[in-house]
Amino acid sequence: MKVAIVGAGLTGSLLACYLARRGLTVTLYERRPDPRVGTADRGRSINLAISERGLDALRRIGLDATVMADALPMKGRMIHPVAGALDFHQYSVSGDRAINSISRGALNNALLTAAAAAKGVSVEFEHRLCELDSAAGRMVFQTPSGKVSATADVILGADGAGSAVREQLLAEGIVAEDVDFLDYGYKELSIPAVDGEFALDPGALHIWPRGTSMMIALPNPDRSFTCTLFWPAGSFDALTTADAVTTYFSEHYLDVVPLAPDLVDDYLHNPVGVLGTVHTLPWQAHGRTGLIGDAAHAIVPFYGQGANCAFEDVVELDRCLDETGGSWARALPLFEARRRENTEAIADMALNNFIEMRDKVASPLFRLTKQVEHT
């Protein structure tokens, strides 16, 4: 049984590890060069919050210790008001529960290395899927030396929110999709270490709630922080000069200005990313071609659950294969039936959490309500 996974990101690499355990022959096709020998794209989300949902999937294949070795536990939110004292809201009453800040690149590399080392797995970099016949199991990839064809018994699209597999299934008239773009974009900034130490408390996820917009910051193992601005899409264009950037941040994010020496350069040169929710129906075709992770159900990042949710997908698909004796024709629809309700719920919760993070957390009433909920 030959399985092709399109996309060697977080989902595809983890999925390859799981399928290899089943004794399947797996080829991972990735459009980019090997990330383990290159540098990260400027401005692409540098770190991620991985919670128990994601850790569970890693634990099942013995990768949790490797990934957690460099993780930074964040036990609560640190609220930065425009003026006044910082305010820490711990995530659990006991204070011992945390989400973990993890480098996206290191996580992807760890998963990719584990997948490539697994028996039966091969990885083809610089292979961008450009054509698909989902019924026949035929694929065409664009490579640096031209187009190449490949076949597989099963094809799984783990190629992210802008999935080419989904696009091909759409063109074949097999799936319907609805992409709700948020009228907000994101841009990353950095706060370096100061004299080798973190410039902010590394035990918290930092939030600068500003009503209709916000900034967050997560710690990195090199003692820097990566900040992400979530602003109404068009508003990034309003600041076009160094003076304008400095003046704006001095007014709205004053405590960050002395901590971010590259603020102006980061702001003026880092790209603005788009955010949206992908709804797809169905997630599979002919019992042999399927979608998984962001390719099936990308969500906005405000709950920090997109990758966690994609990792849960992998565990559930593996479980469905167990329960159906390895029948893909039965496992793919079963996987969709079990996961759809959960992924739709987290998509809604992620949108709601944006309102909570950018606005409600700044209110004393919110704090009081949360305390009452915990008692």
Q: Is 209 in the site for ligand FAD (CB under 6 A)?
A: no
* Rounded distance between C-alpha atoms, residue 108 and residue 375, angstroms: 39
Nearest to 279 by CA among 320, 340, 230, 224: 340
User: CA dihedral defined by 281, 285, 287, 288, rounded to 10 degrees?
Assistant: -130
243 within 8 A of 125, measured Cβ to Cβ: no
Nearer to ligand FAD, 6 or 115 (CB): 6
Size of the site for ligand FAD (CB under 6 A): 33
Interacting positions 10-69 with ligand FAD (CB under 6 A): 10-12, 29-32, 45, 48-49
**Which residues touch 247 (CB under 8 Å, ≥6 apart)?**
none
Tokens of 19: 């399928």
**Residue for token pair 């128990």:** 52
Choices 18-26, 152-160, 255-263, 362-370; region in contact with ligand FAD by CB under 6 A: 152-160
- 112 in helix, strand or coil? helix
Give the residue, chosen from 46, 249, 304, 346, that forms a contact with ligand FAD under the rule CB under 6 A.
304
Q: Is 8 in the site for ligand FAD (CB under 6 A)?
A: yes
For the chain, how far is it from start to end, CA to CA, in angstroms? 54
Q: Pattern of binders to ligand FAD over 311-340, x per CB under 6 A? A: ------------------------------
Q: Is 310 in the site for ligand FAD (CB under 6 A)?
A: yes
Q: Is 308 in the site for ligand FAD (CB under 6 A)?
A: yes
Residue 304, amino acid: G
Nearer to ligand FAD, 9 or 326 (CB): 9
Residue 251, amino acid: E
Q: Pattern of binders to ligand FAD over 91-130, x per CB under 6 A? A: -------------------------------------xx-
Q: Is 284 in the site for ligand FAD (CB under 6 A)?
A: no
31 within 8 A of 128, measured Cβ to Cβ: yes
Tokens of 204: 């918290």
Nearer to ligand FAD, 9 or 76 (CB): 9
Nearer to ligand FAD, 24 or 295 (CB): 295
CA quadruple 360, 53, 350, 43: dihedral sign: positive
Give the residue, chosen from 307, 317, 331, 334, that forms a contact with ligand FAD under the rule CB under 6 A.
307
Q: Nearest distance from residue 235's CB to ligand FAD, in Å?
A: 17
Q: Is 305 in the site for ligand FAD (CB under 6 A)?
A: yes
CA quadruple 258, 264, 270, 272: dihedral sign: positive
The residues pairing with 24 across neighbouring beta strands, listed in sequence order, are none
Q: Pattern of binders to ligand FAD over 230-259, x per CB under 6 A? A: ------------------------------
Nearest to 74 by CA among 215, 202, 198: 202
Q: Nearest distance from residue 163's CB to ligand FAD, in Å?
A: 7
293 within 8 A of 162, measured Cβ to Cβ: no
Q: Is 157 in the site for ligand FAD (CB under 6 A)?
A: no
Q: Is 343 in the site for ligand FAD (CB under 6 A)?
A: no
Residues within the interface to ligand FAD (CB under 6 A): 6-12, 29-32, 45, 48-49, 128-129, 158-160, 164, 186, 228, 273, 293-295, 301, 304-308, 310
